[in-house]
């Protein structure tokens, strides 16, 4: 096992770092640094800058616009994005729906959707969670009934991130209630402009409108928008979630937050308890990076996608992200009303959800116990 970067990989990292420094717009960099709200226009602006460079979808096959980078180069790129303070690349199209289409989609589906995802012409969201069906996703009830050449969808999705921005939503729906729970689920793509779709905001405790409820009332969806076989959506969902969890460690972002915390800690650095916790988080972040490199080395050698043990990255990565914002809040002046202090408070509140999305950390521990440890 080799956990060190080669000379070529270090040269690649320097190339990426230099390009980001020159091409990340100052106003976007400033917004991220001050924890300000990023609009749809902000997100798409950065997406299109990377698309023009040819770097927006490194993991895609070259024929669809991918870079041809190996897994280590892709990891370096993702971490440099976080370390530079770039706006996030919204994953629902690029890193979730697109890999599903590449693995399970028809040629017609790939030609229809992938170029528009790449160029940022379609904004996607994810329709998985429902009231009562979040961690136990297989209990979902949103129903799709086949009627000729289309499905009629009725039901509800909840905690749907950025659905108010979205042009399309990929959904898990129940197409058969008679089989085992996992066997009656299908994966379909729905145009958000279709009659019968209602999006209602859910305002989070940081005051932001990020997530939503989405209601489907007799929504007609062409059968050609189903991905993979009817009733085999659970296979698609598991494949998608493996890709999602691999990207939740956010080591580069956490390194940037750690450096920022050290810079603004001020008198708190003299507090023994604060210093002890800060040191522990730094050690845990280093351990997480080494663990991530182990996964990359295995993927590089075997060519296989991540297994169930990738849940470790999700658990520890999100716990570290929360820990850093807790210390940032502790170091900030709670009475201050400047943009940075207010931003720190909002960031703290926003990060409470990280241990829940992509499958709660409690569920991730169950996955590791069952699939990896055999318990």
Q: Do residues 253 and 299 both lie within one domain?
A: yes
> Given 43, 74, 89, which residue is the final one in a domain?
89
Q: Is the pLDDT of residue 201 over 90?
A: yes
Q: How many domains does the structure of the chain reveal?
A: 3
**Residue 207 forms part of a structural domain:** yes
Q: Do residues 222 and 255 both lie within one domain?
A: no
Residues 204-218: tens digit of each pLDDT = 888 889 999 999 999
- CATH number for the domain including 357? 1.20.140.10
Distance of CA 51 to the CA centre of its chain: 18
Q: Is the pLDDT of residue 294 over 90?
A: no
pTM: 0.88
> Given 200, 231, 262, which residue is the final one in a domain?
231
**Residue 100 forms part of a structural domain:** no
pLDDT at 243: 59
Q: Do residues 209 and 303 both lie within one domain?
A: no
Residue 244 known to be catalytic? yes
- Percent of the chain at pLDDT > 90 equals 62
Containing structural domain, residue 60? 7-89
Residue 361: name the closest of 248, 279, 281, 253 by CA: 248
**For every residue of the chain, which 3-state class applies, written as one string?**
CCCCCCHHHHHHHHHHHHHHHHHCCHHHHHHHHCCCCCCHHHHHHHHHHHHHHCCCCCCCCHHHCCCCCCHHHHHHHHHHHHHHCCCCCCHHHHHHHHHHHHHHCCHHHHHHHHHHHHHCCCCEEEECCECCECCCHHHCCCEEEEECCEEEEEEEECCCCCCCCCCEEEEEEECCCCCCHHHHEEEEEEECCCCCEEEEEEECCCCCEEEEEEEEEEEEEEHHHEECCCCEHHHHHHHHHHHHHHCCCCHHHHHHHHHHHHHHCHHHHHCHHHHHHHHHHHHHHHHHHHHHHHHHHHHHHHCCCCCHHHHHHHHHHHHHHHHHHHHHHHHCCCCCCCHHHHHHHHHHHHHHHCCCCCCCHHHHHHHHHHHHCCC
pLDDT at 28: 97
The one catalytic residue among 79, 80, 130, 244? 244
**Residue 102 forms part of a structural domain:** no
Q: Do residues 264 and 306 both lie within one domain?
A: yes
234-258 mean pLDDT: 80
**Residue 116 forms part of a structural domain:** no
- Residue located via tokens 């005051």: 207
**Residue 218 forms part of a structural domain:** yes
């Amino acid at each position: 096992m080799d956990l060190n970067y080669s000379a070529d990989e270090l040269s690649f990292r320097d190339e990426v770092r230099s390009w980001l420094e020159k091409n990340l717009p100052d106003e976007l960099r400033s917004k991220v640094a001050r924890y300000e709200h990023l609009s749809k226009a902000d997100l798409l602006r950065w997406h299109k800058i990377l698309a023009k460079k040819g770097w927006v979808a490194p993991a895609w096959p070259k024929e669809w616009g991918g870079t041809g980078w190996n897994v280590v180069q892709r990891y370096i790129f993702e971490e440099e994005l976080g370390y530079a303070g770039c706006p996030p690349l919204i994953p629902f199209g690029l890193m979730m729906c697109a890999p599903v289409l590449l693995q399970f989609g028809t040629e017609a589906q790939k030609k229809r959707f992938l170029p528009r995802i790449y160029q940022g012409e379609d904004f996607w969201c994810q329709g998985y969670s429902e009231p009562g069906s979040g961690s136990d996703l297989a209990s979902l009830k949103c129903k799709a009934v086949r009627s000729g050449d289309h499905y009629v969808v009725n039901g509800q999705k909840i905690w749907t991130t950025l659905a108010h921005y979205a042009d399309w939503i990929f959904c898990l729906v129940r197409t058969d209630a008679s089989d085992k729970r996992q066997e009656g689920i299908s994966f379909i793509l729905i145009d958000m402009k279709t009659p019968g779709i209602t999006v209602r905001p859910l305002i989070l405790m940081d005051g932001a409108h990020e997530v939503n409820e989405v209601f489907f009332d007799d929504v007609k969806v062409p059968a050609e928008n189903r991905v993979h076989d009817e009733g085999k959506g659970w296979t698609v969902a598991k494949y998608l979630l493996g890709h999602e969890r691999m990207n939740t460690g956010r080591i580069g972002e956490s390194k940037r937050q750690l450096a920022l915390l050290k810079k603004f800690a001020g008198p708190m650095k003299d507090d023994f308890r604060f210093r002890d916790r800060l040191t522990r988080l730094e050690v845990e972040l280093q351990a997480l990076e080494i663990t991530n490199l182990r996964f990359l080395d295995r993927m590089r050698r075997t060519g296989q996608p991540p297994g169930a043990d990738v849940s470790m990255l999700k658990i520890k990565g999100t716990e570290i992200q929360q820990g850093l914002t807790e210390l940032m809040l502790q170091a900030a002046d709670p009475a201050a009303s400047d943009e940075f202090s207010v931003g720190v408070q909002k960031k703290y509140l926003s990060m409470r959800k990280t241990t829940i999305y992509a499958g709660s950390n409690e569920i991730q521990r169950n996955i590791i116990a069952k699939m990896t440890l055999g318990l």
